[in-house]
Amino acid sequence: MSTVTFYGEGTRLTHLTGDQNRSYVRNPYGTEGVCRDYNNNATDFILTNPSDPQNSSSPYTLCPAPTATPEWERRILINEVAWGGTQADDILAQWIELRNPSMTDAIDLTGWYLQIPGKGSIPLSGSIGPNGYYLIERNEADTSAASSLVYAFPFLDVNGDRLFLYNSTHNLVDSANSNGGPWPAGNRFVDYASMERIGPPYGADIDSAWLTFNNTYRPASDRLGNPINGSPGEVNPSGGLVSTPTYTPTLTPTPTATFTPTPTLTPTLTTTPVALRSIIISEVAWMGTLADANDEWIELHNPGTTAINITGWTLSSTTGTPNITLAGTIEPGGYFLLERTDNLTVSDIAADQIYAGALSNEGMALRLRTASGQDIDTANGNGGPWPAGDADPARRCSMERRGANFADSDTAWITNTGTLRNGLDSGGGPICGTPRNANWAYIVTPTPSPVGPARTPTRTPTRTRIPAAAVSQVIINEFLPFPRSDWNNDGQIDSGDEFIELMNVGNVSINLQGWRLDDQQGDSTPYTLSEISLAPGAKVAFFASQTGILLSNRSDSVRLLMPNGSFSDAFTYITPPKPDQAWCRLPDGGPDWVFGCEPTPGLSNKLAETIFRGETNRPAICESPDLPVPVYLSECLPSGLEAWSRRLWDGLLPVFQLDAESLGRQHWFE
């Protein structure tokens, strides 16, 4: 144990200093207890504090006869999760580590994937050698450790997420935090310590199987050179340490021949009341896929800000089949994928539930109810022909909901065109739909309901007509009024880190040259955009260091003007002065604004830990399925989009009256 030693195997032990009562002991958690020698000092010994000396009167056990590598040691483990990210980049630099505990077998990861329920999957590739590690980073520079895979996976929720590891045959191999509660270990601010698996031996994924990194040996650093409180790509120095060992050696370990934990073990039914359309039927592939017309699938979506347990809920049809009893939880903003017959319908995305029963191509009504029979949502509730979707054998495109705010009606659905799609069918071909992803229908321009012919009301002989408002193709998607981090990466934390993010929600590219950004009239000088081609679904963020537009921390307006001077989008806000919390649309490009978002310039919007809702209760008229588009935009959405007109609403025009007819109903406005 000298500072420099010529004797040792593998990674050497750190010599002890001071007078603490601690000692190194043979690792009692090996496959064969203290009888196994891995030829690596860091694996063969662990540090105990306090020390635990034993003598001839202490219990003992005989070493077992040598055996083949046990089955449990051949599986791949989720070994470490840095859900808190790093000191340099916070949760933008989350990373995940897998481990192969076998000392003899390399494991090919081709076709394997890590699933984050409600968010998506991380496709794996390559292999892990014996006793090897596999580091997944969102960006190569997030840590100084060499990554095995760079993949911009969906951000892990700091309040807890679930991770499930599947092999190439879609069998569950391992999990992390499978009960769906708060992360059992690790932290975020100050320490940014990772969550490490305890072992060996590696038991089932339970809260006590994880601990927070707490070791002086920190082998890696973050993007700015700060030591990482974790061990990406290396043995967990904390993972095998137990302050007070309380183990009882056994003659042989008890391996698990087939490791198949259930993702939703014993769900606890929520007692939180649920409202109409708190969960929506978001997408229906009643026509199947190009690979097989029988490969039908249905997607549910949680548009709210709290998780909802749907165990015991039913999704049933008017024909009696399918009749599905649901089980599981849908996270805020998350999706729940139901695949018919087997898990290969969407071959690269694991189903949340498998169901039986065909959807009729002629049409049927689907109804979503709670376990107590409360109606939550419908799809094609009138039971007629499907209002959208394409059964052409050359296309087979899904039927998508326009948005969470649209009550079920024939106009609330649209056919996916393949412009935005997600997932592969059982034949490996692309699916014309967006299973477990935001609908393409969310980002296309809806066709406004027609305003009927003018009628002469008896109360006044003249009136002013206003045309239906068109939803703009480019919108304000996110903005940060009160930064306290270096978001523009210029090395300084100042007002220049404020930003406004734009998004193209149309289906064609658009050139932003001549467009202008501005805050409320009379404040900052408007900023004219240069030539920028914004592709469909693309986003671009403009920082105050570039635009000179400074937003008030408490209340202001954010405006986007087209080259002709008309408004493309505008939003007026009143904000609690909370640093590093942004206004954003959830989901991206959607109608609802929320304050309390994690600032994500150029990336997908997500909620922060503290949420402030940006909208108030909507009037009952907003529940009408045939409300004219101009009224819906101005009265039911917090932004008002392009329906806002200062001349009209600020009283510069005389009182007017308007009547409009939509779907056979007459509406009067004054």
597, 478 Cβ separation under 8 angstroms: yes
Sort residue 28 into left (φ over 0), alpha (ψ -120 to 50) or beta: alpha
User: Which of 619, 621, 628 lies closest to 665 in space, CA to CA?
Assistant: 628
What pLDDT was estimated at residue 265? 41
Number of compact structural domains in the chain: 4
Higher pLDDT, 94 or 28: 94
Domain end among 48, 67, 86: 67
pLDDT bin (cut points 50, 70, 90) of residue 266 is very low
pLDDT-above-90 percentage for the chain: 29
**47, 183 contact by CB (below 8 A):** no
Q: What is the pLDDT of residue 259?
A: 42
Q: Are residues 436 and 452 in the same domain?
A: no
Question: Mean pLDDT for the chain?
Answer: 77
Model confidence at 306: pLDDT above 80 = yes
Cα 369 to Cα 166, 284, 420: the distances in Å are 31, 17, 30
Of the two residues 220 and 102, the one the predictor is more confident about is 220
Q: Which residue would you say has higher pLDDT here, 98 or 452?
A: 98
Nearest in space to 136 (alpha carbons), one of 144, 124, 127, 120: 124
The CA distance from 472 to 455, in Å, is: 29
Burial 350-366 (b: 16+ CB within 10 A, else e): bbbbebeebbeeebbbb
Query: Quick check: is 27 in a domain?
Result: yes
Cβ atoms within 10 Å, residue 349: 23
- Domain match, 23 and 108 both: no
Residues 327 and 390 in one domain: yes
Query: What CATH number corresponds to the domain at position 455?
Result: 2.60.40.1260
What pLDDT, on a 0 to 100 scale, did the predictor assign at position 589?
A: 85
Bigger pLDDT: 231 vs 574: 231
524: amino acid identity, one letter: S
Q: Pick from 212, 244, 265: which residue ends a domain?
A: 212
88, 33: one domain: no
Q: Are residues 116 and 128 in the same domain?
A: yes
Tally Cβ neighbours within 10 Å of residue 267.
Answer: 15
Total residue count of the chain as it appears in this document: 670
Q: In percent, how much of the chain has pLDDT > 70?
A: 74
For the segment 195-205, what is each residue's pLDDT rounded down to a tens digit? 999 876 666 78
Q: What is the CA radius of gyration of the chain?
A: 29
Do 430 and 504 lie in a common domain?
no
Q: What is the pLDDT of residues 93-116, one digit of tens each?
A: 999 999 998 877 889 999 999 999
Q: Which residues contact 190 (CB under 8 A, 6 or more apart)?
A: none
**Residue 268 is assigned to a structural domain of this protein:** no
Asked whether residue 111 falls in the same domain as residue 56, the answer is no
CB 42 within 8 A of CB 235: yes
**What is d(CA 43, CA 30) in angstroms, rounded to the nearest whole number?**
9
**Nearest CA-CA partner of 637 in 558, 541, 571:** 571
What secondary structure letter does DSSP report for 256? -
- Look at residue 114 in the predicted model and tell me its pLDDT: 93
659 confidence band (pLDDT: 50, 70, 90): very low
- Residue holding tokens 């609802």? 592
Q: For residue range 511-533, what is the model confidence (pLDDT) as tens digits?
A: 999 999 998 766 678 899 988 88
Q: What pLDDT is recorded for position 669?
A: 56
- Which two structure tokens, joined as six digits, stand for 217? 């040996």
Name the band, by pLDDT with cuts 50, 70 and 90, for residue 252: very low
- Domain residues for the domain of 63 are 1-67
H or E segment and range at residue 629:
helix 629-631
Are both 331 and 403 inside the same structural domain? yes
Residues 18 and 120 in one domain: no
**221 located within any domain:** no
The more confidently predicted of residues 153 and 2 is 153
Average pLDDT estimate for 361-387: 89
Q: Higher confidence at residue 88 or residue 355?
A: 355
CA distances from 2 to 15, 21, 49, 336 (A): 6, 18, 20, 57
Burial 507-520 (b: 16+ CB within 10 A, else e): eeebebeebbbbbe
35 plus 182 within the same structural domain: no
- Nearest Cα residue to 200 out of 123, 149, 253, 151: 253
Q: Would you say residue 262 lies in a domain?
A: no
Choose the final residue of a domain: 393, 409, 444: 444
Instruction: Give the pLDDT score at 633.
Output: 56
Check pLDDT > 90 for residue 137. yes
Q: Phi and psi of 361, rounded to 5°?
A: -70, -15
Mean pLDDT of 330-344: 90
CA angle 178, 184, 189 (to 5 degrees): 125
Is 246 inside a domain boundary? no
Shared-domain flag, residues 61 and 146: no
- Do residues 136 and 43 touch, judged by C-beta distance below 8 A? no
- Both 181 and 310 in a single domain? no
Cα–Cα distances in Å, from 217 out to 6, 132, 231, 555?
21, 19, 8, 47
**Does 239 fall in a domain?**
no
Q: How far apart are CA 621 and CA 661, in angstroms?
A: 15
Chain centroid to CA 349: 14
Q: Which residue has the higher pLDDT, 374 or 70?
A: 374
Residues 6+ apart with CB under 8 A from 178: 162, 163, 164, 205, 261, 263, 265
| 473 part of a folded domain | yes
d(CA 433, CA 134): 32
